[in-house]
Amino acid sequence: MDNQAYVVQMNGNAVHGKGPAKCPTPNGTRVTGNGMHRVGANGSLYPAKGKSRRLGWDVKPSVMANNTVNPIRAIVDSMKLSPNPDKPMIALSIASGDPTVFGNLPTDDAVLRAMKDAIDSHQYNGYSPSIGYLKSRQAVANFYSSSEAPLTAEDVILTSGCSQAIDLAISVLCNPGDNILVPCPGFSLYKTLAVSMGIEVKLYNLLPDRSWEVDLPHLESLIDERTSCLIVTNPSNPCGSVFTKEHIQKILKVASRHRVPVLADEIYGDMVFPGCSSPSLASLSSDVPILSCGGLAKRWLVPGWRMGWILIHDRNEVFGPAIRQGLVKLSQRILGACTIIQGALESILNNTPQSFYSNTISFLKSNSEICFNELSTVPGLNPVMPSGAMYLMVGIEVDHFPDFKDDVDFTEHLVTEQSVFCLPASAFEYPNFFRIVVTVPQEMMVEACGRIREFCQRHYRPSSSGSNDLDQ
């Protein structure tokens, strides 16, 4: 069989040539209004292109891949961790804040039954629409809708966990060269995603001596004409702080003044200790459009189920149809939310008893109080009592610990001597603090605090005689 090329004219009518190519162009090709193509003798269609021969293999990772860095992994993976063999390891550092690690915080039986029923129904084994089943989106809308911030199914995008929700929200609002405002300390994923997309990250300060409120003048000073998004995390990871209604209103006033939309990371919404309240940002916004990101991971204690969502709170139709259509298009890149979880979602939201939430929050508050009270009396440490979420931040008076150069060195030696691993807050770009995850069993928390006390008593010096003095 000969290897002559046959011509296909790509003119919208799918007309195939019937014989050997008689073409006005070389190599058996024809230029048409829709491009230049060739057909081999075996009928395969492929675009024509000039011959090139590379001298050798040269396969490189993309710019996006090279620009993708997880600050937590970058720091933790570089630490020299050699636990004390005489003491069992206590990990208070869980980077992802996974509440299931120690087995003491199981999800509710009603959540498991909903999953089993969804599986047994055999209705959720196929693909769903890219934004999720209508029934499942309506269930989320009903659960979170309020008179101040009403929602319909059209305002909900289901995603593969809250992380994908954040990814889609940043992607729809920002272009390369834009900048976003990110809390410091704050969840490292924001920077990981933004930098990989060529988006500049500007860090606005949180104030530890004011229970991690936003430094509003600093926030406002960072805004310019390329600021495309303000990220607000409430309740906070890594701080465990909860903003008051009044403080949220002040944040929204800054966003309103400068016409900056808000990405509200509210994955810890409603995980607030008794005596505090955590209104959603959307419920307090009259003119600032908000994309609120949440999911099942924390409140329902099932992070591995990867069910998240975006709630579109469009104020005065600032987003309009374009942002909604953009989110739909982005959701079509990869079908995200698991269909079985979607099938169980309505039951999970409506049938999980309030006692389950209350018991979880009571445990987290009790553990936080134990940790705060124990470490408050340790010389050289300054814990900040949280009001929600799963975390507590502890300040280190580094001048009183001359044996260590920074928080990474401090926490590294804490592992070596006491087999207690806390996450250095340099991972959140906030040095001289460390973060504790308070989901561990209570007896483990007490033991860990005792070891931290012993470690600090050994290394604490009333006045520093180390290099910090020499540098001044």
Q: Write the CB contacts of 100 (distance below 8 Å, at least 6 apart in sequence).
A: 106, 301, 302, 303, 304
* Bridge partner residues of 218 (DSSP): none
pLDDT at 46: 61
Q: Write the CB contacts of 136 (distance below 8 Å, at least 6 apart in sequence).
A: 128, 158, 337, 342, 343, 345, 346
Nearest of 55, 39, 59 to residue 47 by alpha carbon: 39
Q: Are 435 and 422 in contact (CB under 8 A)?
A: yes
Residue extents of the structural domains in the chain = 71-103+355-459, 109-351
Q: Write the CB contacts of 210 (distance below 8 Å, at least 6 apart in sequence).
A: none
Tell me if 71-103+355-459 shares its fold with 109-351. Answer: no
Q: What's the token pair of residue 215? A: 């430094």
State the DSSP string of 18-83.
-SS---SBGGGBEEETTEEEEE-TT--EEE-------SS------HHHHH---HHHHHHTTS----
| Number of Cβ atoms within 10 Å of the Cβ of 296 | 25
Q: What's the token pair of residue 228? A: 């495309």
| Number of Cβ atoms within 10 Å of the Cβ of 363 | 17
> In a structure prediction context, what are the per-residue pLDDT tens digits for the chain, which is 472 residues long?
444 444 444 444 444 444 444 444 444 444 444 555 555 555 656 665 666 788 899 999 999 999 998 888 778 777 878 888 999 999 998 766 789 999 999 999 999 999 999 999 999 999 999 999 999 999 999 999 999 999 999 999 999 999 999 999 999 999 999 999 999 999 999 999 999 999 999 999 999 999 999 999 999 999 999 999 999 999 999 999 999 999 999 999 999 999 999 999 999 998 999 989 889 999 999 999 999 999 999 999 999 999 999 999 999 999 999 999 999 999 999 988 999 999 999 999 999 999 999 999 999 999 999 999 999 999 999 999 999 999 999 999 999 999 999 999 999 999 999 999 999 999 999 999 999 999 999 999 999 999 999 999 999 999 745 444 433 3
Task: Give the count of alpha carbons within 13 A of 58, CB side only.
Answer: 4
Task: Note the CATH number of domain 109-351.
Answer: 3.40.640.10
pLDDT at 471: 39
| pLDDT per position as a tens digit, 17-56 | 444 444 444 444 444 445 555 555 556 566 656 667 888 9
Could you say which DSSP state residue 17 is in?
P
Could you say which DSSP state residue 106 is in?
P
Could you say which DSSP state residue 327 is in?
H
| Number of Cβ atoms within 10 Å of the Cβ of 171 | 18
Q: State in words which class domain 71-103+355-459 has.
A: alpha beta
Q: Are 383 and 448 in contact (CB under 8 A)?
A: no
Q: What is the pTM of this model?
A: 0.86
Q: What's the token pair of residue 410? A: 């401090």
Q: What are phi and psi of 466, to 5 degrees?
A: -90, -160
CA triple 345-238-224, angle to 5 deg: 95
pLDDT at 97: 78
* Bridge partner residues of 180 (DSSP): 201, 229
- For 342-448, list the strands marked E by DSSP: 381-384, 391-396, 420-421, 423-424, 433-437
